[in-house]
Amino acid sequence: MIKSLSAIATLAVVTTTFAQDLQAPACVTSTPATTAICGMAPAEDLELSPDGNFLFMSTTPGVADTHHSRLRLMKLVTHEVTDLAIEQQPQPGWGEASCAFPDGGVGAHGIHLSTRSDGRLQLLAVNHHGRESVEFLEPVPEGAGWKAVWRGCVQSHDGTMLNDVSATPDGGFVATAMFTFSAMKADPRLERLLDGRATGHLLAWHPDKGLARLPGSEASVPNGVQVSADGQSVWFAAWPAKAVVHYDLAQQKVVGNIALGFMPDNLSWSSKGELFTAGVPDVQTFRQCFLSRNEFCPSVSVVALIDPLNGTARELLRAPAGELFGASSALQVGRDVYVGAFAGDRLLLLRDTAAPDQRVATH
């Protein structure tokens, strides 16, 4: 999904529609296996803390542009949500030396948690506050919870809006670029940007090579992204095209495409090396909600599990409209799966949905 909705909304033409009443719908679900966790700003992307007790969450402005984009922390036992405290301590080897702390603070779009070669934790966050950049943070235990230390960043001058990011084993990252700002400004009602044409591409950064566009990676609104543990394969969501794309970094070309029955947003690895994804069923519903700035977008929510080796997928959930508002991420926590959204006021908890937790190697 287009996560930084406020950036698009500021460029939209004046229409006869206005932001909808933000009164939250009832905090209920249709099945006993699904629990709604309500009363929070939209948690668009999710990562599990290494101790297994918290979720790192990226908060978006929402469709109605009523929230401040930032990093947050949810305690799994109590579902208490707080802002993630961030300290500034830049350090060489984390991003580019010329990149300074963002003036507007660290916004949070796509996020990715990994372990660096020296054993330290690294949380990457796509930021839109004042610039397009990937922020490097180090999560650090503090008391019974976590804080983050800002270590550095990489600023993009690609002219595109970034979406998601995934670390690579060699100390770099791959990011998705949805579309150019010029194309977005020329199409404020999203009539062409969401019609399935190629609008964006992948960007790769390495400490020795800088940030560059990956050839042959053009796709329709590139969204969530993950890199394989061996650093050879990139998997990313082509949102309006209803597909997850396989890009080979060595060959520098697309080598596979997995068709889905919905529009996949973020991706996350399962304990067995499969990919979870979540999304909404169609462009028309999203455009209607976006143009009316309806924070509680009445859309069906879909969660699926993808086998990247076999190129197959199976749906785990197709929740009716009103249970979640713009499904955007699915993250395994033991046998459970947490589902985030780009709008609304809640997460979904799917109990006993995933295979028993048996972690695979990650970089």
Token readout for 70 is 């930032």
Smallest CA-to-CA distance from 68 within 77, 60, 78 is with 60
SS (H, E, C) the chain: CCCCHHHHHCCCCCCCCCCCCCCCCCCCCCCCCEEEEECCCCEEEEEECCCCCEEEEEECCCCCCCCCCEEEEEECCCCCEEECCEEECCCCCCCCCCCCCCCCCCCCCCEEEEECCCCCEEEEEEECCCCCEEEEEEEEEECCEEEEEEEEEEECCCCEEEEEEEECCCCCEEEEEEEEHHHHHHCCCCCCCCCCCCCEEEEEEECCCEEEECCCCCECCEEEEEECCCCCEEEEEECCCCEEEEEECCCCEEEEEEECCCEEEEEEECCCCCEEEEEECCHHHHHHHHHHCCCCCCCCEEEEEEECCCCEEEEEEEECCCCCCCEEEEEEECCEEEEEECCCCEEEEECCCCCCCCCCCCC
Backbone angles phi, psi at 7, to 5 degrees: -65, -35
Which pLDDT score is estimated for 22?
Answer: 61
Residue 19 has pLDDT above 80, yes or no: no
Residue 304 has pLDDT above 50, yes or no: yes
State pLDDT tens for residues 318-359.
999 999 999 999 999 999 999 999 999 999 999 998 865 433
Query: Of residues 7 and 310, which shows the higher confidence score?
Result: 310
In CATH, the number for domain 5-350 is 2.120.10.30
Which pLDDT score is estimated for 288?
Answer: 87
Residue 38 has pLDDT above 90, yes or no: yes
pTM of the model: 0.93
Q: How far is CA 159 from the centre of its chain?
A: 20
State pLDDT tens for residues 127-154.
999 999 999 999 999 999 999 999 999 9
Mean pLDDT of the chain: 91
Classify burial at 137, counting beta carbons within 10 Å of its beta carbon; exposed 0-12, middle 13-18, buried 19 or more. Answer: buried
Q: Which residues contact 117 (CB under 8 A, 6 or more apart)?
A: 171
